[in-house]
Amino acid sequence: MVISRKELKSALGILKLVACAKGNLASLGNILMQVRARTLVLTATNLKIFVQVQMQVTSETEGTELLIDIEDLIKLASLKGLPDKASVEVLPECKAKVVIGGIEMHIGTISTDLFPPVPETPVTDMLCSSNRMKEMIEKTIKSMTPDVTRVHYNCARLECGHDNQFNMVTTDGHRISTFGVASARYHIKHEISLPPIMLKLISKLRGMLAMSIADSKIYIETEDRTRVWCKCTEEPFPSWERAIPRNSSDRVQVRVNKEMFENAVRVTALTADERSEGIKLQIKKGVMHISSDTKTSNCTAEVPAIYAGKEFSIGFKAKYLLDVFGVLDEDEVMLEMNPEDNLDPLVIREKDFLHILMPMRL
């Protein structure tokens, strides 16, 4: 078969996210290559996730199969100064002959029988654009904990309603980010917790995504026939909606300029305690003072604020404020807080985005 090294390199950019050897299962570090009707199907897995990418090839041998180390394929696709087209031929005794221009090389392979069986393809019943899914991930991923031992926080909850309505939620126990359609506004048909590697995979997909969710499993197929199967965690996701403050006459709104607030937080964070990263917001009529104070240093910045209520103070972790402001689009940001309770959460809303941040004692 004759393949394009450029197209192969692009396919490997997705497959390498899951192809990795595990203990005695060396086959998991390999890519299964199968020729079907002049189409090369490349499959990788880590057992929990299977990924298939298809590309057009020129082949006279229907049904050709080989299992080859992904690192060898990456080296093959990345060779510079050589023609794009490469001829690959399966040889006896687990060998593959690769010819690029005037160069011929023999690469070791392993038996395709060692590759785990690929799951069956379910019927899809939902559609979502890859751009919309990518936007949901970008808006919420900062609130997901990187700690893999906290399984129910080390994931993103995807809620799917009727009429292709989607909502994504993440939380690390200190903050919550949700983007899409608030679940209170529609009937949830499916919900599933996506691991971090699935979020990386989804971010690389293009076009419309056809999906199926059932029994803690999700299947995604793109218009160019890239396919992803994933067995997701069955750990219960936190009841995040309970953390949304109820409407109360005690809560107030404080409007600030996004850029000015970000700059003030970034500067005052420099003198904040290294462990807590805590900074204090002191809100008065028309102004907000942002400060940090340790035994050896301190800093105070002033930001104009549209607010006419009573004076109050509240503390937050600087990084968490910078994370949420980093995904906001509007120039002006409305901060919802409770002057009567400095442990009541901060709420930020913007179009389809909702963020809840717990204060900290300073």
pLDDT digits (tens, 9 = 90+) for 29-56: 999 999 888 899 999 999 999 999 999 8
Tally of domains in the chain: 3
Judge whether 306 lies within some domain. Answer: yes
Taken in order 161, 147, 233, 230, the sign of the CA dihedral is positive
At residue 361 the predicted structure's pLDDT band, cuts being 50, 70 and 90, is confident
Q: Is 23 exposed, middle or buried (0-12, 13-18, 19+ CB in 10 A)?
A: exposed
pLDDT tens-digit map of 117-152: 999 999 998 899 999 999 999 999 999 999 999 988
Whether 307 shows a pLDDT value over 60: the answer reads yes
Whether 22 shows a pLDDT value over 70: the answer reads no
At residue 100 the predicted structure's pLDDT band, cuts being 50, 70 and 90, is very high
pLDDT of residue 21: 63
Cα(283)–Cα(252) distance, integer angstroms? 11
Query: Of 258, 256, 314, nearest to 286 (Cα)?
Result: 256
Pick from 58-62, 128-132, 299-303, 309-313: least confident: 58-62
Whether 161 shows a pLDDT value over 90: the answer reads no
Tell me, what CATH number does 252's domain have?
A: 3.10.150.10
pLDDT of residue 36: 85
Cα(269)–Cα(109) distance, integer angstroms? 53
Which of 209, 242, 275 corresponds to the end of one domain?
Answer: 242
Using alpha carbons only, how large is the chain's radius of gyration in Å?
26
pLDDT of residue 247: 73
Which of 64, 87, 114 corresponds to the end of one domain?
Answer: 114
CA angle 153, 155, 158 (to 5 degrees): 120
Enclosing H/E stretch for 76: helix 70-78
Pull the structure tokens for residue 149.
Answer: 């031992």
Angle between helices 196-204 and 5-15 (to 10 degrees): 150
Residues 322 and 269 in one domain: yes
At residue 185 the predicted structure's pLDDT band, cuts being 50, 70 and 90, is low
pLDDT tens-digit map of 216-236: 999 999 999 999 999 998 888
pLDDT of residue 50: 97
DSSP string, 337-357: E-TT-TTSPEEEEETTEEEEE
Q: How many CB atoms lie within 10 A of CB 284?
A: 15
pLDDT of residue 56: 87
Pick from 55-69, 188-202, 310-324: least confident: 55-69
Whether 182 shows a pLDDT value over 70: the answer reads no
Query: Dihedral, CA atoms, 155, 160, 166, 168, nearest 10 degrees?
Result: -20
Residues 143 and 229 in one domain: yes
Whether 196 shows a pLDDT value over 80: the answer reads yes
| Percentage of the chain modeled with pLDDT above 90 | 74
Cα(339)–Cα(23) distance, integer angstroms? 56
pLDDT tens-digit map of 269-291: 999 998 899 999 999 999 999 99
180 close to 192: Cβ distance less than 8 angstroms? no
Helix (H/G/I), strand (E/B), else coil: 325: helix
Judge whether 271 lies within some domain. Answer: yes
pLDDT of residue 8: 93
Query: Of 209, 206, 231, nearest to 218 (Cα)?
Result: 231
- Strand order, beta sheet including 30-36: 65-69, 30-36, 39-45, 49-56, 227-231, 217-222, 208-214, 126-129
Q: How many residues does the chain have?
A: 362
Residue range(s) defining the domain that contains residue 256 = 245-357
Helices (runs of H) and strands (runs of E) counted in the chain:
6, 24
Q: Is 351 exposed, middle or buried (0-12, 13-18, 19+ CB in 10 A)?
A: exposed
Judge whether 121 lies within some domain. Answer: no
pLDDT of residue 251: 93
pLDDT of residue 60: 66
Which of 242, 276, 308 corresponds to the end of one domain?
Answer: 242
Pull the structure tokens for residue 46.
Answer: 């880590």
Residues 179 and 253 in one domain: no
Residues 103 and 211 in one domain: no
Judge whether 362 lies within some domain. Answer: no
Cα(140)–Cα(135) distance, integer angstroms? 9
At residue 248 the predicted structure's pLDDT band, cuts being 50, 70 and 90, is confident
Whether 183 shows a pLDDT value over 60: the answer reads no
Pull the structure tokens for residue 310.
Answer: 């009573």
Of the chain, the end-to-end C-alpha distance in Å amounts to 66
Residues 73 and 159 in one domain: no
- pTM of the shown model: 0.90
Residues 275 and 294 in one domain: yes
Stronger pLDDT, 104 or 189, i.e. the higher one: 104
| Percentage of the chain modeled with pLDDT above 70 | 96
pLDDT of residue 17: 94
